[in-house]
Amino acid sequence: MTASQSGRVRNIERIGIEVDMTEDDATSPIAGKKIAIVGAGPSGLTLARLLQMRGGSVTVYDLDPSLAARNQGGSLDLHEASGQLALKKAGLLDLFHAAARPEGQATRVLDHHGKIYVDLRPSDETSTRPEIDRGTLQSILFDSLEPGTVKWGRRLLSVERNEGGGLCLRFADDTTEQADLVFGSDGAWSRVRPMVSPDKPRYSDITFIEGRISAADTDWPDISRLVGEGAIMVTGDNRAILAQRNSDGHIRLYACLRETEEWIARQAFDFTDPASVRTKLLAHYAGWSPEMLQMLTASDDQFVLRPIYTHEPTQHWTPQPDVTLTGDAAHVMPPFTGKGVNLAMQDALELADALTGGEHADVASALRAYESGMLARMEKEIRLVLHDQDIFVSPIAPQGVIELFEARLRGEG
């Protein structure tokens, strides 16, 4: 058994695998209610699984034609008190550990000249946040649902209240569905959100351009060694490049640009002409060492623009008795604390607990309890991530980044 395998076993023993299978309870606030969840991302699928386990009648609607229809994004680490706890309650923690990569937690922080300042290697004792590919996590959750739960190819346009009671979901294919409860887990541009809040996400001043190095081990061994099994963060001069290993060995890159939306528009990046994108990126990172620039040169001819949006820490929110939001739909934020998925899954767990835990006599009071906890938590989390973003992409980086890592090692972050 390798060190990382023994780390996995220890994690499973420490966290335990208890499946909380509550029987269908006729007195539960969700008994007999038709529940629509919009969005089959990590948040919506976790919520669907937990509610189904507890007797809920759930349908999930997603605009994608299938689970495999699109690039699901890079590797994610799941934290014990949020993402892993939700999977534990969903009875899926063993599947997570079987697929996860504890070694993926290795992290290096470098400056733009290539000097290494932080070099964290996970040990069995510190491997509490294993990495998993987003696509694998989605598959574990999806496979746990009753067949036919997810209706693919259904793009929600709006939710409306029926005059005689209940909610009507309107889809882009001119169809409608009726539901008693609607939970919006449909990401940053949620179509359920207008039911509870007029606030929209704003641009966070950062744009990522995502790249990918498929054959790092064979064609770019220096980059492969530098990134290792985990991730590197190269920061300095108000710019950053993040690179992370994924399970099939490929390396995913994010060039982080601190530029206005107008500046990004003026660049007129043409993603059908990857060579021109690479040329513009290399020009933008002028002054960086050739070793760091090599990551941009090595990227496959495949770049994706990802402007980063955020909600404000405090939001206008009008509680509804039968509608609420989870995950990015409720609180999209930049990824610099690496918590978005974890918080999305924590929302799903807390909403399911509020609805089925026996503490609330009706759905409306369960939703109020869930929302007050979620909004208070997210006020702190969004303030924190906006603060960390200014540290990661700053003129004096990696100075503040090193201090952040030192604080985390002391258990303060």
Ligand X SMILES: Cc1cc2nc3c(=O)[nH]c(=O)nc-3n(C[C@H](O)[C@H](O)[C@H](O)COP(=O)(O)OP(=O)(O)OC[C@H]3O[C@@H](n4cnc5c(N)ncnc54)[C@H](O)[C@@H]3O)c2cc1C
Site string for ligand X, 135-174 (x = CB under 6 A): --------------------xx------------------
Bridge-based pairing state of the strands 304-310 and 202-213: antiparallel
Q: How far apart are CA 169 and CA 171, in angstroms?
A: 7
Nearest approach, Cβ of 130 to ligand X (angstroms)?
A: 12
Handedness of CA 88, 252, 187, 240 (dihedral sign): positive
Pick the piece of the chain touching ligand X (CB under 6 A) from 22-30, 332-340, 349-357, 401-409: 332-340
The yes or no reply on residue 328 touching ligand X (CB under 6 A) is yes
Q: Is 410 annotated as belonging to a binding site?
A: no
- In Å, how far are 129, 152, 191, 263, 308 from 401, measured between CA atoms? 19, 41, 36, 26, 20
The yes or no reply on residue 185 touching ligand X (CB under 6 A) is yes
The yes or no reply on residue 195 touching ligand X (CB under 6 A) is no
Q: Is 62 annotated as belonging to a binding site?
A: no
Helix, strand, coil share (%) of the chain residues, nearest 5: 40, 20, 40
Q: Is 70 annotated as belonging to a binding site?
A: yes
Q: For ligand X, give the closer residue by CB, 226 or 329.
A: 329
Q: Tell me the one-letter amino acid at 55.
A: G
Rule CB under 6 A: choose which of 15, 35, 63, 93 binds ligand X.
Answer: 63
In 138-193, at which residue ranges do the beta strands (DSSP E only) sit? 150-151, 156-161, 167-171, 176-179, 181-184
Q: For ligand X, give the closer residue by CB, 7 or 340.
A: 340
Q: Is 252 annotated as belonging to a binding site?
A: no
Structure tokens at 172: 């882009």
Residue keyed to tokens 């990569």? 101
The yes or no reply on residue 55 touching ligand X (CB under 6 A) is no
Rg (CA), the chain: 22
CA atoms within 13 A on the CB side of 72: 19
Nearest approach, Cβ of 386 to ligand X (angstroms)?
A: 15
In the region spanning residues 119 to 138, those forming contacts with ligand X, defined by CB under 6 A, are: none
In the region spanning residues 76 to 95, those forming contacts with ligand X, defined by CB under 6 A, are: 76
Annotated binding site: 70, 77, 134, 328
| Residue numbers at the binding site for ligand X (CB under 6 A) | 38-44, 61-64, 73, 76, 155-156, 185-187, 191, 208, 254, 306, 327-329, 335, 338-342, 344
Annotated binding site for NADPH: 70
